[in-house]
Amino acid sequence: MKILRLAKILYVTLRFGLEEFILGHERFRWLRPLVMVALFWRPLEESRAVRLRQALEALGPIFVKFGQVLSTRRDLIPTDIADELAKLQDRVPPFAPEIALAAIQHAYGKPASEVFAEFDPVPVASASVAQVHFARLRDGREVAVKILRPDIGKVIGHDVELLYAGAGLVESLWEDGKRLRPCEVVAEFEKHLEDELDLMREAANGSQLRRNFQDSELLLVPEIYWDWCHKSVMVMERMAGTPISQVDKLREQGVDISRLAREGVTIFFTQVFRDGFFHADMHPGNILVSPDGRYIALDFGIMSTLTDRDKNYLAQNFLAFFKRDYKRVAQAHIEAGWAPADTREDEFEAAIRAVCEPIFDRPLKEISFGRFLLRLFQTSRRFGVVIQPQLVMLQKTLLNIEGLGRQLDPELDLWQTAKPFLEQWMSEQLGWRGLEKTLKAEAPHWGTLLPQLPRLVHRALSRDEGGELQLLREELRARHASERRWMMVIAVLLGLLLLGQLLPWLSLLLIEPM
């Protein structure tokens, strides 16, 4: 199966002429005439950007998602390609209306006409994993109905197997393979893909995000209608807004684009550091702007979480980074075990400074993130920094956020926007505020546990689960017996020593009467 999938990838690559992207390099340009002669039968009438988009669509969901990420990085790819790949965000070719109606019949056990008062069979948006239709419930509420693509699980399963095969080759053949931990990265990616294939999980994610931002003035999240949710069909509140990619239209509506860009950064850091639960698929196709200028989040299939340890580590790194305290950045990497323990701190600090200094105090439009990422990778390779799979989705989201910021406001200073938020968050986590917050959170638990402690301790001491306490008792008895024996030996030795000191005096006393 892997060989067949690999053969299909090769066929699609040649069919759409994607070798052009490789043969355009000076090193391989001499091969171009040979390839053109060998593949003369191909009608390549479309532009390279259109052919790339069509190839990614033909290859399936994982490749489409790769294209979605690339589409947000106009600093890394040509404009014509970025414009064309942007169509992958919500304009992937849809599946037929009959298939959508059959999916509803299968999910509810009755036709769409009996479930909804109205159902539009023509999708309003179509993505790599599912498509969305507008409908109206029988109580009059306007809703959006998300339906999974048929057999999408099998397609993704084959692609994931191929990714594992490729990761295994990278790990075994490349000297940096083990440091990059490609198999663990693929496993993390697979976990999120599995979540995306269960719309009940997506509904739960959306419900949690809505609760986190219930009273927010920055972000709106649609309500989930649980009575109509199924593993393959999800129904939620229909939201009215303008796609965030339509910047000119937003300006016509009077939206402050600079403020919108800053608030996008704030929303991201709020999700990451306050909640530890963030939207990990924030490409423009998943974001609308409401008439009052607030963000509207859609598509909750890929969400990610962070532990308190991860949040604290990241916050320390970001703050040290914003303050240009490169020594603290180096120390944090070494303390967390991301860099080897024997790493020379001063050399690591100097390398980080060389990478980061050129991008400070500059708006996004003046920063070459392609060069920055390349130098960052070279530095991490030199010092053996280990890739952290649990943060892969965060890194992907950061790329999306930064790309979105470029589209909205190239003058945005990402560092100055994020720094005050992180400083406030750290002040709430550390010191008296942090202690007070922790005590409030733990008080109910300790209030219940403290009165039970004597009984729990007595029970633990009186029970012998697995023989552990019995072994401990026997060890203590043996230790006490050994201590008693040593005390007896010491006492005898002291007695003999004392007797040796007293013998001359005793002999004098015995001799004098004679």
Q: What is the pLDDT of residues 304-357, one digit of tens each?
A: 888 877 777 777 777 787 788 888 888 888 887 778 888 888 998 998 888 888
pLDDT score recorded for residue 508:
45
Strands 242-243 and 233-237: unpaired
* Joined tokens for residue 181: 């931990």
Cα–Cα distance, 155 to 160 (Å, whole number): 9
* Joined tokens for residue 391: 């943060």
Q: Catalytic residue at 281?
A: yes
Could you tell me what percent of the chain has a pLDDT over 70?
70
DSSP three-state, residue 134: strand
Please state, in angstroms and as integers, the Cα–Cα distance from residue 351 to each residue in 45, 69, 313, 497, following that order.
47, 28, 20, 68
Task: Please name the residues in contact with 132: beta carbons below 8 A apart, sequence gap of 6 or more.
Answer: 123, 124, 125, 126, 144, 145, 146, 147
Asked if the model's pLDDT at residue 210 lies above 80, the reply is: yes
Please compute the mean of the pLDDT values over residues 3-11 and round it to a whole number: 75
Asked if the model's pLDDT at residue 180 lies above 50, the reply is: yes
The answer to whether the CB of 437 falls within 8 A of the CB of 428 is yes
The alpha carbon dihedral of 378, 188, 11, 147 has a sign of negative
Asked if the model's pLDDT at residue 510 lies above 50, the reply is: no
- Write out pLDDT tens, residues 355-395: 888 777 676 667 655 466 556 666 777 787 776 666 667 77
Asked if the model's pLDDT at residue 75 lies above 70, the reply is: no
Strands 295-297 and 287-289: antiparallel
Please state, in angstroms and as integers, the Cα–Cα distance from residue 69 to each residue in 64, 82, 282, following that order.
9, 10, 9
- Write out pLDDT tens, residues 231-286: 999 999 999 999 998 999 999 999 999 899 889 888 988 898 888 898 887 777 78
DSSP string, 178-192: HHH-HHHHHHHHHHH
Please state, in angstroms and as integers, the Cα–Cα distance from residue 117 to each residue in 140, 354, 492, 508, following that order.
8, 62, 100, 123
pLDDT score recorded for residue 194:
75
Q: Which of 214-218, 221-225, 377-381 has the lowest mean pLDDT?
A: 377-381
Top pLDDT among 465 and 220 is at 220
Cα–Cα distance, 54 to 71 (Å, whole number): 14
* Joined tokens for residue 478: 């043996």
pLDDT score recorded for residue 488:
62
Asked if the model's pLDDT at residue 507 lies above 60, the reply is: no
> Which of 393, 2, 386, 5 shows the shortest CA–CA distance to 191?
393
* Joined tokens for residue 183: 């198999």
In terms of residues, how long is the chain? Answer: 514
pLDDT score recorded for residue 482:
58
Neighbours of 197 (CB within 10 A): 20
- Write out pLDDT tens, residues 17-65: 777 776 665 666 666 677 676 676 677 778 888 888 888 888 877 778 7
The answer to whether the CB of 48 falls within 8 A of the CB of 265 is no
Cα–Cα distance, 105 to 150 (Å, whole number): 13
Asked if the model's pLDDT at residue 2 lies above 70, the reply is: no
Cα–Cα distance, 68 to 70 (Å, whole number): 5
Q: Which of 14-23, 218-227, 460-469, 502-511 has the lowest mean pLDDT?
A: 502-511
Catalytic residue among 75, 159, 281, 409: 281
Asked if the model's pLDDT at residue 431 lies above 60, the reply is: no
pLDDT score recorded for residue 179:
60
Burial of 71 (0-12, 13-18, 19+ CB in 10 A): buried
Asked if the model's pLDDT at residue 222 lies above 90, the reply is: yes
Cα–Cα distance, 391 to 410 (Å, whole number): 26
Neighbours of 325 (CB within 10 A): 15
Q: Which of 122-131, 287-296, 457-466, 497-506 has the lowest mean pLDDT?
A: 497-506
Cα–Cα distance, 101 to 119 (Å, whole number): 9
Please compute the mean of the pLDDT values over residues 183-210 and round it to a whole number: 83
